[in-house]
Amino acid sequence: MTAGRFVKVVTVLAAMSMLVTGVWARVDPASFAEWANWPNHVHFLHDAGVFQIAIGLMLLCALWWRDVVVVVLAGFVFANTFHAFNHAVDLELGGGNAGDPWALLAVSVVAAAGLAVRLRTLHNRRNAKEGASA
């Protein structure tokens, strides 16, 4: 196995471990808390779950995109948007104030705009390079 293939396999395995445990913590927090020997604080476990899901998605994004800024912005948008969702559905479980989901979502929108601008910039650079070499 080549070094590059090994790194890809390790990245996928790491992503899958984050996705599986993240989904588990999000979907069945009581079972996850028992397994992890953590207190069964549902909102905390939901947050932990979505952050793990976002890490898994960011790892997979790193296999698709080679630009570090794109990968971290995508990871942030995933994490913060899922976090906003948690705060919206967990208000009665310790998810904060009614305005928290909206504040988090506003930050996600700004980060998504930054991601879109970065992707467009990279696309334009690639097209300019291809045009110059043609």
| Domain boundaries defined on the chain | 3-133
- On the question of pLDDT at 42 being above 80, the answer is yes
Residues 6+ apart with CB under 8 A from 19: 52, 53, 56, 57
| pLDDT given at position 54 | 95
Mean pLDDT, all residues of the chain: 93
User: Does the pLDDT at position 116 exceed 80?
Assistant: yes
Per-residue pLDDT averaged across 26-51, rounded? Answer: 94
Identify the band that residue 134 occupies on the pLDDT scale cut at 50, 70 and 90: low
pLDDT surpasses 90 at 130:
no
Taking residues 128-133, report their average pLDDT: 78
Pick from 57, 37, 115, 51: which is nearest to 86 by CA?
51
